Structure 1
Amino acid sequence: MNSFAGKLKKIRERSQSPGRALSPERKAGLTGRGTSVLPSHVASGSLSPTQNRKLEPVRKISQEFNQKLWIRPTLAADTEVIEDVKEGKMPISAFSQKRAEIRERKINWGAYLQSGLITQEQFDVIINVDKYSPEKRGWIFRDQGVFVAECFIELLNNISKDDTIQYLLTLIDDSLEQDRTRIGGLNIYAENQAVTVASLFIPFLNRTDLYIMHQTARIIAKCACWSASLMEEPDLSSYLVFLKLILRSSNNEYKETTVRCLQMMLRIREYRLAFLQNDGITGIVNALNANASNSQLQYQLIFCLWCLTFDADVAKEFLSHNVVPIMGKILTDCQKEKVIRITLAILRNLLEKCDDDPEVLKELGICMVHARIIRSLEHIEKRRLVDPDLLEDVEYLVTALHKAAEHISSFDEYMAELKSGSLEWSPAHKSETFWRENAARFSEANYELLKILVYLMQRSKEPLVLSVAVHDIGQYVRFSPRGKAIIDKVGGKEAAMALLSHADADVRYQALLAVQKMMVTNWEFLGKKSEKDQNQQEVSVKS
């Protein structure tokens, strides 16, 4: 003990020598953001103008991440990457169970010392950190957090055994969870080495051991969100690419843990924007579709989408990625209150953030009405839930969507259905009045709607979608004077011909009708013949 205290004193004197003088920010330990607390000498305004300029970003960040400014208490806990095991309770996830097992390991640090893999100073530090309970480690980090950080990093770099790496990463993560201001030691050590703190850990994301990868991801998330400065390129892109790969992975028992890292990152506007630029919404939407049966993961992914809705520009991205229909389906199928709450929060945020953009607001309203969200809201009201935030959101959405529904035309509904990619036999498709009045509008925006129909005919695997799409191509040809030439130009004729050999009988039938309409001009005769053929087909099916 005396030997270790003497070494700490010697190291402390060395770190405070003229050659390694600490700036006021570094002495303050680079205050963790989540605490929203600045050192007393900063709060008192006793700094010089230059020092004040340096600390202005810290003040700004501290204000920005005060949870009370933007996040509801019912959701606050889910924005932190924290241990999901309470004292006296069993671990509730595969990752927590693995962490509990690793904490019980006894590492033979003496063997590493004898083999020369670690120095005597490193041995002294790790032995003392290792032997004390989390509550009693505080004095070590308080007296010389920078040297402890240096010891951790050098041990990680000098030792290759996975079991020991797992233990060290868990020890670092536990230390940060106990007191987030300890992130300051890592930041100062990285600054002394002229590197970024994230770069100290990013190489461990490439390890083959799943636990090491995911534990490293937790530490990087904390460094990114609790440090006084933002994570910058290229570290940020590397980390976001890793998180996107995790979203795509299958059979990964630790996926929920790393998605929680994404929940934490997306609280920060700069990280949200970087994630959007990396096509992050596509990754979340694909993961939602692939993990519909995992309610916990579903909730975490929806939470990530909710974080993104705090930026007004994201509404257009949500429309282009068909997020609203997915939210509508979740409201229809899910019974878990926390999932319903966060889904409603997304819908409300989208409408509120687009209040100054009438076109986007109208399109959102149309999408929500088409996704039958009003019906889902009525069912939610009948459940007599008591959460005041949830009830307030329901009331807001019901009012907003009823107002939107008053101004929606049949063509607006058709466009929303078509852009969702989920076609069905809604009234507009078989209404001659609809096609007579609106066929000319299919030529707008460089034939956008026709191109979507052709795309669905070429790519969709759903027989219903194929049947409706090829039927609509035929209807356009019938009611548009230049329909045949335009459909040929956008590839519709070729796509319809390909469906003549489809395995589904109704797809073949609708494709045949569409092709006939492209070939003949006597629509009245063809219409009567088609009706007769359809009646015969129905009789044949019944018999």
Structure 2
Amino acid sequence: MLAADKVKTAIVQKEDVLASGEPSPGAVSLIQNELIDQVKLLIITHPYLDDMLQHIRNTNIPWEEYKDCGLISVNDLAMIRHVENKTVDELGPIMSEHGLYYAALYLELMQKVARVDVLQKILVLIHDMLEENEERILLFHKAGENVTGFPLEPFHKALTIGDEFIGIQASKILTLLISTTHHRDIDINDIFRWMTFQLQNPRQHVIDLNVQILNALFHIPEYRRAFWNTTHAIDSLVSNLKRAQERHLGPQEIYELSFTIWLLTFDQEIAKQLDRKCCIIPTLVELAKTTVKEKVVRVIIATFRNMIEKAPNENLPAMLVAKLLPLCEHLKTRKWTDPEITADIVFVDDALKETSQSLTTFEVFASEVERGMLQWSPSHLSETFWKENAQRLNENDQRLLKQLTRLLILSESAAVLAIACHDLGQYIKYSGPDGRRYIEGLGAKQRIMELMTHSDPLVKYHALSATQKYFSMV
């Protein structure tokens, strides 16, 4: 079983403890130990980070010069020299005896130093202190107990330095600190705003590491919603998943991105709004269709199950439109090593079949329009459908009519443009005298006439047909 999968049970258990009210001291200790174990399982690492750690570890810092100019004290210098270039095994007895003093030293230096080379070195020293001994992070909590803003503030400050390594390593340690306290009054918003920009970085290793950090933070339920509410955060995350093929991402990167989405869908409000905001269901369906890795299919199907369990009305119609049902039928024929996959596939398949039998034709049509996934399904081509439902495009302040117009204006897909022209032509034909006025008021008439010269013959044909219907209503 993969490390990330082992965490599933721990997530549920931890949330049960936290939901019971203010934890007792014993429960706090239990939560901390469990969270440390979870962060161990979700190791935040990357070859780039390993190379940078080694490079900085081998870089000589002129500590004596910094002592002479008052940047560090004589005692600071002695403590640094005592641990610098030590192996993990050599650091063991030192940290067992003096770990609390080193945690206090590192926090103080992180807070008062602004030099990039010194901050990089201190972050490497902290990394080496915690390497294979993540429980030592509790020493930083203890060392910062009597100092306002500690132990988090020095690492928040480091995020503003502008150095790539400092940003990644500081956010990694911040994540470990945040994940090992039961306090939820932490200002997480600054971190998520910073990470939103990191998710837009052109360097793939920066994105990969920040996704791993999110996977650790999202084990805390409150922080899923905080990320969701951060401006452009979810869009930045989902855009990386949507560009997976374009950026030639490997299965591991796709898995980690999908795992992040899976964690978010444990929040009911996020599960309700995620597809409407980001149109993520078609992306996940396509990734599940094209991947050969079982773990990618596992996390995507688990995400669909979450979305169905948390918000069936919002997600099941979109899943039908995205052709998830035939994919489930195909996946049911494959052999899986993990029985959970089979159970999840059967659950999703059954829910989709039940929904397909209960949804009206208009509800399926509305789901297509709302998500911009127009296809030549029977409803578009049925005269009976338009006779019965054309007026319904005016419901809810003309929501569907406005969305069709929006697709007509913004879409670059020839198929979507052709269907939108066809549908608006049918709306004009069957909506009565007001339909023509509404079409003109929304700007659809001008756009339809522009599309009469489109390079695609089907778009041109349906634009011409809609124009003829428009003028026949004069």
TM-score by length of 1: 0.76
The residue that corresponds to 1:336 in the other structure is 293
Confirm or deny: 8 A CA contact 2:39 2:176 kept in the other structure.
no
Distance 1:174 1:494 in 2: 65
In 1, Cα distance between equivalents of 2:417 and 2:92: 65
**Counterpart in the other structure of 2:315:** 364
Q: How does 1:363-402 map to 2 (within 5 A)?
A: 363-402=314-353
- C-alpha displacement at 1:110, in angstroms? 3.5
Letter in 2 for 1:260: Q
Separation in structure 2 between the aligned mates of residue 125 and residue 451 of structure 1, nearest angstrom: 67
Say which of 37, 40, 43 aligns to 1:82.
Answer: 43
The SS at the match of 1:226 is coil
Matched, 1:287 2:240: yes
**5+ long unaligned stretches in structure 2:** 1-9, 15-20
Whole-Å separation in 2 of the counterparts to 1:137 and 1:382: 53
Residues 196 and 512 (structure 1), Cα distance of their counterparts in 2 relative to 1, 3 Å cut: farther
Q: Give the conservation status (yes or no) of the 8 Å contact 1:58–1:228.
A: no
2:439 maps to 487
* Paired AA for residue 282 in structure 1: D
Matches within 5 A, 1:44-193: 56=24, 59=27, 62-63=30-31, 66=34, 81-82=42-43, 84=45, 93-157=47-111, 159-193=113-147
Give the partner amino acid of 1:350.
M
Question: CA offset at residue 400 of structure 1?
Answer: 1.8
Measured against aligned partners, the alpha-carbon deviations of 1:341-391 in whole angstroms (never above 9, x if no partner) come to 10011011122224xxxxxx2342222122111221222233312211111
Contact 1:80-1:263 within 8 A present in 2 as well: no
Return closer, same or farther for 1:156/1:473 CA change in 2, 3 Å cut-off: same
Question: Which has the higher mean CA deviation after the structures are superposed, 443-452 or 501-510?
Answer: 501-510
Give the 3-state SS of the residue equivalent to 2:203 in structure 1.
Answer: coil
8 Å Cα contact 1:198/1:231 also seen in 2: no
**What is the CA–CA distance in structure 2 between the aligned matches of 1:367 and 1:157, rounded to whole Å?**
49
Would the aligned equivalents of 2:451 and 2:459 in 1 still touch at CA under 8 Å?
Answer: yes
Number of the residue aligned with 1:463: 414
CA positional deviation for 1:241: 0.6
Residues 418 and 459 in structure 2, CA contact (< 8 A), matched pair in contact too: yes
The secondary structure found in structure 1 opposite 2:268 is coil
Cα displacement (A) at 1:401: 1.6
Alpha-carbon spacing, 1:147–1:100, altered in 2? closer, same or farther (3 Å): same
Match of 1:311 among 258, 267, 271: 267
Which amino acid is the alignment partner of residue 308 of structure 2?
A: L
Question: TM-score normalized by structure 2?
Answer: 0.86
Helix, strand or coil for the counterpart of 1:230? coil
Bigger-Rg structure (1/2): 1
d(CA) in 1 for partners of 2:226 and 2:372? 28
The alpha-carbon distance between structure 1 residues 475 and 177, as it changes in their structure 2 partners (threshold 3 A), is: farther
Counterpart for residue 274 of structure 1: 226
Q: Decide whether aligned partners of structure 1 residues 331 and 213 sit closer, same or farther in structure 2, where only a CA change above 3 A counts.
A: same
| DSSP-derived class of the 2:303 partner | helix
**AA in 2 matched with 1:245:** F
Q: Residues 509-535 of structure 1: CA distance to partner in whole angstroms, max 9, x if unpaired?
A: 32222222111139xxxxxxxxxxxxx
Report whether the alignment pairs 1:509 with 2:461. yes
How do residues 429-440 of structure 1 correspond to structure 2 at under 5 angstroms? 429-440=380-391
Give the AA of the match of 1:303.
Answer: F
Instruction: Give the Cα–Cα distance (whole angstroms) in 2 for the partners of residues 313 and 433 of structure 1.
Output: 37
Pick one of 205, 230, 241 that aligns with 2:193: 241
Cα gap change, 1:174/1:504 in structure 2, threshold over 3 Å: closer, same or farther? Answer: farther
**Are the counterparts in 2 of residues 94 and 253 from structure 1 also a CA contact under 8 Å?**
yes
Q: Which amino acid aligns with 2:249?
A: N
CA distance in 2 between partners of 1:456 and 1:120 (Å): 68
Deviation at 1:62, TM superposition (A): 4.1
1:427 and 2:359 matched = no
Match among 216, 223, 241 for residue 264 of structure 1 = 216
Whether the 8 Å contact between 1:457 and 1:469 is mirrored in structure 2 is: yes
Report the secondary structure of 2:346's partner residue.
helix
Could you tell me whether the CA contact under 8 Å between 1:134 and 1:175 is conserved in 2?
A: yes
| d(CA) in 1 for partners of 2:391, 2:419 | 19
Q: Which amino acid aligns with 2:27?
A: R
Question: Equivalent residue for 1:445?
Answer: 396
Q: Distance in 2 between matches of 1:471 and 1:60?
A: 62
1:320 aligns with 2:276: yes
Q: Is the contact made by 2:199 and 2:206 (CA closer than 8 Å) also made in structure 1? A: no
Q: Structure 1, residues 209-252: CA drift from partner, whole Å, max 9, x if none?
A: 2122111111111111123423522xx11100111111122234
Provide the aligned length of Structure 1 versus Structure 2: 451
Contact 1:477-1:518 at 8 Å conserved across structures: yes
Distance 1:215 1:108 in 2: 22
Amino acid at match of 1:456: L
* CA distance, structure 1, for counterparts of residue 462 and residue 38 of structure 2: 53
Aligned equivalents of 1:311 and 1:363: distance in 2? 14
Distance 1:78 1:380 in 2: 32
Asked if 1:349 corresponds to 2:306, the answer is yes
| 2: CA distance, partners of 1:405 / 1:183 | 51
Question: Is the 2:44–2:213 contact (alpha carbons within 8 Å) kept by the matching residues of 1?
Answer: no
Tell me the SS of whatever aligns to 1:394: helix
User: Secondary structure, in 3 states, of the residue corresponding to 1:192?
Assistant: coil
The 8 Å contact of residues 144 and 151 in structure 2, kept in 1 or not, is answered as: yes
Gaps in structure 1 of 5+ consecutive residues? 1-32, 38-52, 68-75, 85-91, 355-360, 523-543
C-alpha displacement at 1:278, in angstroms?
1.5
- C-alpha displacement of 1:260: 0.5
How far off its partner does 1:406 sit?
1.5
Change beyond 3 A, Cα 1:122–1:78: closer
Decide whether aligned partners of structure 1 residues 362 and 182 sit closer, same or farther in structure 2, where only a CA change above 3 A counts: same
Aligned-residue Cα RMSD (Å) equals: 2.9
* Alpha-carbon spacing, 1:66–1:157, altered in 2? closer, same or farther (3 Å): closer
Deviations 1:269-307 (A, max 9, x none): 111121122254322222212333313332222111111
Distance in 1 between the 2:300 and 2:40 partners?
A: 16
